[in-house]
Amino acid sequence: MNWDPLIPVLTVASSLVPGLIIFGLAEERVRLRTALNLIGALIKLALVGWMLWGVYHEHHYETRLALLPDLELVLRVGPLSLLFVTLSGVLWMVTTIYAIGYLENSPHRSRFFGFFSLCVTATVGVALAGNLITFLLFYELLTLVTYPLVVHRGTEEARRAGRTYLIYTIFGGSLLLLGTVWLYSLTGTLEFTPQGFLSDLDAEHRPTLIIIFSLLIAGLGVKAALVPLHGWLPQVMVAPAPVSALLHAVAVVKVGAFGIVRVVYDVFGIDFAIELGVTAPLAWLAATTIIYGSMRALFQDELKRRLAYSTVSQISYIILGVAIAGPIATIGGLVHLVHQGLMKVTLFFCAGNLAETLGIHKVSEMKGVGRRMPWTMAAFTIGALGMIGVPPIAGFISKWYLGLGALQADQDWVIIILVGSSLLNAAYFLPILHAAWFQKPPHSWPEDRDFGHKETAWTLLLPPLLTAAMALVAGLLATLPFSPLEWAKLITEREFYCP
């Protein structure tokens, strides 16, 4: 029997099934819940490993289910989808461990972990989607299942943030839907194809296509937090730390950016997009977002809010890489999809550790925290330096490829954006590092929880150390086989710029 069509389904199911079972579990069945979560995550990782090997050797996995007449639910495993699936699989595992420690003895854990698994299911679905309609389905599902996570705490602030989030994303989703339907009415197909499926259309449709492109980008841009559609993201940081971590690193924000990659490369096709003249405005939009996000991050005292604005800025690196429209910049953008995820998840884990262990929520409270929590702050330092683009951390490799790619595509202005953004990143991260490592700690911390001779619980400490190490290794050993960079090169060669 041929197992290949089953594998994408199994990948989605490996988080869906545990999620659904967990909903039915009683609150106190901690062990069973943990076991389900971890088994699901391990199965997913095993499947990811299997697929990585297969796809590397030009094997393809595809599942088609009839959804409507003419429209199918397609799950397809290609290099690009696998990049994103791998990222979400790995980070799901790590974040689950973190969430178990973070939510210890807090109420509504079954609800939380249930939606958490669904959130990953939706993300994986988005990654594997083989056509725009499947993409849209999972994209909307993601919106719905993250809402309960955002409002998990149930405070007035959380509810308000949840409301903002829902309004923004639902409107974004409807724009996306409008664009998709319109596109379908023009072409009769929505299948993601290398080099796009629109270039054969008559020239008279061009203005329409430009509008559709804007609709799709605006819809996706809400999740990708493109300025001026980013307003929801800093509010949503009221969510618990593991949610923020997942939200900023893989789930919501990344899905928006991933969608933009799909639209530019597999719907329009990069050559056709350049011909339409839509890549240049997109590049400018991304550049504006990069600088604006960093400028806003400078003035935030609340740590998570500062990190949120930093995400606004960093996600647009990916979009910039895509919009520069050259093979090398594309590699830079794609690899940043992974690199930003690793670094940002580390930073949010650390922010959560500070809040949980010492009650620190503000940058101004972080004086001398390096002496109290050296390992957490070491991980934070790696993440922060990586964001600035200091070698050998992963962020530097992204920056290098973006810069080189921009020059190769004769868009020298991008260098100024990159340098400016690095400067701003340094301006808002280095003072934190200085305060944490070199200033005198206060006499007492806001809420000091005692962990004996350890700085914090190991379930809270291990995940950031792990992801920080990954961010370091992804940069230091960037050209080893199966590194994010090598995979991004493979994607670019096979899918986007194939001869």
Assigned token pair, 421: 């953004």
Residue 53 or 438 with smaller CB distance to other proteins: 438
Q: Give the DSSP per-residue string, 414-470.
A: HHHHHHHHHHHHHHHHHHHHHHHHHSPPPSS-TTPPP-TTSSS-HHHHHHHHHHHHH
Residue 227's φ and ψ, nearest 5 degrees, are -65, 130
Distance CA 67, CA 314 (A): 36
Residue 172 or 321 with smaller CB distance to other proteins: 172
Nearest distance from residue 333's CB to other proteins, in Å? Answer: 16
Radius of gyration (C-alpha) of the chain in whole angstroms: 21
Residue 407 in the binding site for other proteins (CB under 8 A)? yes
Nearest distance from residue 438's CB to other proteins, in Å? Answer: 6
Nearest distance from residue 309's CB to other proteins, in Å? Answer: 10
Residue 44 or 223 with smaller CB distance to other proteins: 223
> 252-262 vs 303-324: helix axis angle to the nearest 10?
10
Residue 204 or 450 with smaller CB distance to other proteins: 204
Residue 399 in the binding site for other proteins (CB under 8 A)? yes
Q: Which stretch binds other proteins (CB under 8 A): 29-37, 90-98, 344-352, 431-439?
A: 431-439
Distance CA 121, CA 430 (A): 36
Distance CA 355, CA 342 (A): 20
194 contacts 495 by C-beta, under 8 angstroms: yes
Helix (H) or strand (E) holding 252: helix 252-262
The position carrying tokens 């086989």 is 481
Position among 106, 155, 174, 199 found at the interface with other proteins (CB under 8 A): 174
Residue 100 or 209 with smaller CB distance to other proteins: 209
Position among 385, 432, 460, 472 found at the interface with other proteins (CB under 8 A): 385
Distance CA 67, CA 73 (A): 6
Position among 66, 204, 450, 498 found at the interface with other proteins (CB under 8 A): 204
Assigned token pair, 114: 């249930």
Residue 54 in the binding site for other proteins (CB under 8 A)? no
The position carrying tokens 């029997």 is 1
Q: Which stretch binds other proteins (CB under 8 A): 2-10, 203-211, 259-267, 490-498?
A: 203-211
Using CB under 8 A, which residues numbered 410 to 429 contact other proteins? 415, 419, 422-423, 426
Residue 11 or 300 with smaller CB distance to other proteins: 300
Q: Which stretch binds other proteins (CB under 8 A): 34-42, 87-95, 340-348, 381-389?
A: 381-389
Residue 358 or 409 with smaller CB distance to other proteins: 409
Position among 256, 352, 475, 484 found at the interface with other proteins (CB under 8 A): 475
- CA angle, 74 as apex, 69 and 80 as ends, to 5°? 150
3-state secondary structure of 68: strand
Residue 91 or 215 with smaller CB distance to other proteins: 215
Cα dihedral 292, 295, 300, 306 in deg (nearest 10): 60
Distance CA 131, CA 284 (A): 28
Position among 175, 261, 318, 323 found at the interface with other proteins (CB under 8 A): 175
Distance CA 1, CA 10 (A): 16
Distance CA 15, CA 18 (A): 6
Residue 437 in the binding site for other proteins (CB under 8 A)? yes
- Cα–chain-centroid distance for residue 139? 13
Residue 70's φ and ψ, nearest 5 degrees, are 75, -15
Residue 194 or 392 with smaller CB distance to other proteins: 392
Position among 55, 255, 397, 488 found at the interface with other proteins (CB under 8 A): 397
Position among 192, 400, 428, 487 found at the interface with other proteins (CB under 8 A): 400
Q: Which stretch binds other proteins (CB under 8 A): 55-63, 71-79, 109-117, 200-208?
A: 200-208
List residues binding other proteins (CB under 8 A).
163-164, 167-168, 171-172, 174-175, 178, 182, 204, 207-208, 211, 214-215, 218, 228-232, 234-235, 296, 374, 378, 385, 388-392, 397, 399-400, 403-404, 407-408, 415, 419, 422-423, 426, 430, 434, 437-438, 475-480, 483
